[in-house]
Amino acid sequence: MAVTRFAPSPTGYLHIGGLRTALYSYLWARKTKGQFRLRIEDTDTQRNNEDAMKAILEAFEWVGMDFDGEVEYQSKRLDIYKEYIQKLLDEGNAYYCYMTKEELDALREKQMANKQTPRYDGTWRPEEGKTLPLIPEGVEPVVRIKAPKEGMITFIDGVKSIMNFNCSEVDDFVIARSNGMPTYNFVVTIDDALMGITDVIRGDDHLTNTAKQIIIYEALGFNIPKFYHVPMINNPQGKKLSKRDGALDVMEYKRQGFLPETLLNFLVRLGWSHGDQEIFSMEEMLELFDPSNINKSASSYNEEKLLWLNSHYIKNVSNERLANELEYFDCHIKGHDKKEIILDLCKERAQTLIELKEAINKIILRPTSYEAKGTKKFIKEDTIKFLEVYLQTLEENKESLHLACDYEVITKPFIEKFELKFPQLFQPIRISLTGGTQAPSVYDIMAVLGFEEVKSRILTAIERNFGKEA
């Protein structure tokens, strides 16, 4: 039974890399009948953003990922952190350091000049037989952990296998700043331990933090969780993902017309696979996901696959669901008497809900202009004449015109009689009805609109001469 967590900082909106980490953590907790916790790491008060905090919760609600218990806010746990800092001080596992920023900068410059790795030199580290400097006046100390000087810090990473860090690479890092505020690695360790987190799934940019956190775990006698460090998502060129490539706020994907299950399906495959399967329902993800099978190498963002997945889900969710989703885009089709037909027609070509809305509007809204390229190509000298004759044919049979097949029965003999090619008739009709040449079947559009609306739109197009003189 795994207890996992997602712990974003509210300093920016939730991006897809963060959502992928959250999804992996969520799936593992739910699969093992454990718990998935949400913690907001908001101790950096200068960078916190109230809107970003709300956006994180909004994104979770949109994709349907629930969490257990209340949201934990680090800013409400400061007394707990101070208690454990004091415990480390009392037990000799941490100490006050009075080295000023200027002294630390000078030390680093000297080390770099000597081609050494910049690191704290242990000036204020208490050791047997060592005399510490006199405490300077007016200097507020930081608190440093007493890190081991020798040996290896070793742990088994669920993705990367055995990881070794030489203790000589980890200095006595700061766990509390001079203003008393605890640092990131310290609060993360305390929170994960006290929340009973058993499995930490996070980006591999945290890999070096893990060694520091293990030092804190061991100093306080806490159980060390299992770590899974997930490789980054790169752009198609193998570089860090940018906003231009798709590193957007999660809610921006909603605004661009993606369904939440599309995004989750897309993200679960960015770093994990099950054979050649591409489409995964949430039930299948829960059944099949195991963090031990996360890929060791970075994944590449593929916009074409994202659009393909979205097209798949648009075609396969219910029309009732689509009608509800379209409300967000001010496309109100729920009460339309031909809702089912319209959606069945339009969703076949739509890759996003915005494209679906545009396709629907082309049918249900009267065109205000006519595509110049299509008009030039398909509206000839005799077009208006045979359109007028075609309207007379429809008028004579209007009582029997209800379904698409009814219009087909009338139209095919008309085309044969006047020896027309299909585009000669259909494209002028399509332009009349929708304003453009790209639309579903003319028969289907006419069936949706009904004879009177078809007649009105064609007559309007003829009256305007298809905008050719505008």
Same domain, 93 and 182: yes
216 and 156, same domain (yes or no): yes
Cβ-based neighbours of 124, under 8 Å, separated by 6 or more: 95, 96, 97, 98, 99, 132, 133, 141, 144
Residue 82 and residue 54 share a domain: no
CB 324 within 8 A of CB 338: no
Write down the mean pLDDT value for the chain. Answer: 93
Q: How far is CA 232 from the centre of its chain?
A: 14
> How far is 293 from 271, CA to CA, in rounded Å?
9
Give pLDDT < 70 ranges for the chain.
45-48, 243-247, 469-470
| Cβ(449)–Cβ(433) below 8 Å | yes
Q: Which amino acid is at 229?
A: H
Same domain, 236 and 225: no
Q: Are residues 94 and 214 in the same domain?
A: yes
Residues 223 and 304 in one domain: no
Question: How many structural domains compose the chain?
Answer: 4
Single out the residue in 188, 204, 230 at which a domain terminates.
230
The answer on 218 and 270 residing in a single domain is: no
In a domain, 213, yes or no: yes
- pLDDT at residue 42 in the model: 84
Q: pLDDT tens for residues 297-342?
A: 999 999 999 999 999 999 999 999 999 999 999 999 999 999 999 9
148 occurs within a structural domain: yes
Residue 347 within any structural domain of the chain: yes
Is 446 part of any domain?
yes
Q: Is 243 annotated as a binding residue?
A: yes
Domain boundary among 230, 247, 262: 230
- 192 belongs to a structural domain: yes
Q: Are 60 and 192 within one domain?
A: no
Quote the tokens at residue 421: 């090619």
d(CA 266, CA 260): 10
> Residue written as tokens 């000036």?
123
Rounded to a whole number, what is the largest CA-CA distance in the chain?
111
CA distance 223 to 198: 9
CATH of the domain at 243: 3.40.50.620
22 and 64, same domain (yes or no): yes
Residues β-bridged to residue 157: 161, 227
Give the end of a domain, one of 189, 205, 230. 230
Same domain, yes or no, for 203 and 125?
A: yes
In this structure, what CATH number is given to the domain that contains residue 444? Answer: 1.10.10.350
Phi first, then psi: what are they for 154, rounded to 5°?
-125, 135
Q: Helices in 40-99 by DSSP H: which ranges?
A: 50-63, 78-90
> Between β-strands 142-145 and 174-176, what pairing exists: parallel, antiparallel or unpaired?
antiparallel
Q: Are residues 325 and 311 in the same domain?
A: no
Contact 420, 376 (CB under 8 A): no
Does residue 457 sit in the same domain as residue 380?
yes
pLDDT at 46: 65
- Structural domain boundaries enclosing 414: 366-467
Instruction: Say if 361 falls within a structural domain.
Output: no
**Looking at residue 249, what is its pLDDT?**
87
Whether 103 maps to a domain, the answer reads yes
Q: What is the pLDDT of residue 246?
A: 64
SS3 category, 220: helix
CA distance linking residue 263 with residue 60, whole number of Å? 12
Residue-wise pLDDT for 405-460, tens only, equals 999 999 999 999 989 999 999 999 999 999 999 878 999 999 999 999 999 999 99
Residue 360 maps to a domain: no
How crowded is residue 115: how many other Cβ atoms within 10 Å of its Cβ? Answer: 6
Contact (CB, 8 A) for 257 and 355: yes
Q: For position 48, what pLDDT does the model report?
A: 67
Q: Tell if the pTM clears 0.75, that is, is over it.
A: yes
CA distance linking residue 426 with residue 433, whole number of Å: 10
